[in-house]
Amino acid sequence: MSQTAQLLDGKTLAQKMQAELRSRIQSLQAEIGRKPGLAVLMVGDNPASAVYVRNKEKACEQIGMASFGQHFGANTTQAELEAAIDRLNEDPNVDGILIQLPLPDHLDAVPLLHRIHPDKDADGLHPLNLGKLVRGEPGLRSCTPAGVMRLLEEYQIGLSGKQAVVIGRSILVGKPIALMLLAEDATVTMAHSRTQNLSGITSEADILIVAAGRPELVTAEMVKPGAVVVDVGINRVTSADGKSRLVGDVHFDSVQQVAQFITPVPGGIGPMTVTMLLHNTVWSYAHREGKTHT
């Protein structure tokens, strides 16, 4: 008799965490005398990015955070964006700065990300913050992997001694999540597009994190019975009748019959990513104002 996996419900946890952040902001604001501030920079009119930015700004408002969003035209120059980042770095009311990726082709994201002050790096992507992650020191953590770890913690999923497999090696998700899993004493294998015998590797995993960017790549026969499967992917696919839907990197319907826990798409890691962005901004706010003990 097959049993259906328990859902790792990121949406509900995100709501709980945002309520906690709201009350933390209220108590800190009474001491500090201002709200925390997040600035999201968006360039061009990518429709998916516009939705993400709107969600982030709405979430800011709901928890009592000031939003300093700036929207630039598609033909904005590198120098104009650098100047905008410099202004935000100097602005005492801004605690977190985020560049919404992807940027138009004529812009180079890397020097822009490096230009954000490490203490205001809401996405946790500055080399200094990534270096702190490697060294196991406190600091701002990349939002998506930090959201994965927080979700596993909420469901009391032990990682120590477990075999963890990460599919995907991006600096956004794959590499940082591997380091975070190692820090919790998991044994980590990293797989990617060149990996041979992928299903042989994934079927050994107690914890399988999939961040490959390929729709429904992982199917039931690739998953160890009773495994924990975290699907970081979000892909829009169009069926033969022209209707589009969102799917992850995991074939949800089949894997749900094999795994013990699984994240849905949407409603799994997506809401956690936004919440960790807010969490990082509040952490910076408290840290910069010397209130880290509260």
Catalytic residues: 56, 100, 123
CA distances for 20 relative to 16, 26, 95, 228, angstroms: 6, 10, 18, 27
Instruction: Characterize 124-148 residue by residue with b for buried, 16 or more Cβ atoms within 10 angstroms of its Cβ, and e for exposed.
Output: bbbeebbebbeeeeebbbbbbbbbb
CA distances for 67 relative to 55, 62, 99, 146, 288, angstroms: 12, 11, 14, 22, 18
Closest of 285, 224, 252 to residue 96, by C-alpha: 285
Closest of 62, 68, 59 to residue 98, by C-alpha: 68
Per-residue tokens: 128: 């200094």
Helix or strand (DSSP H, E) at 207: strand 207-210
166: which residues sit within 8 A by CB, 6+ positions away? 174, 177, 178, 181, 188, 189, 190, 191, 209, 211
Q: Check whether 169 is labelled as a binding-site residue.
A: yes
DSSP state of 191: E
Q: Check whether 234 is labelled as a binding-site residue.
A: yes
Per-residue tokens: 51: 């939705």
Binding residues for NADP(+): 168-170, 234
Binding residues: 168-170, 234
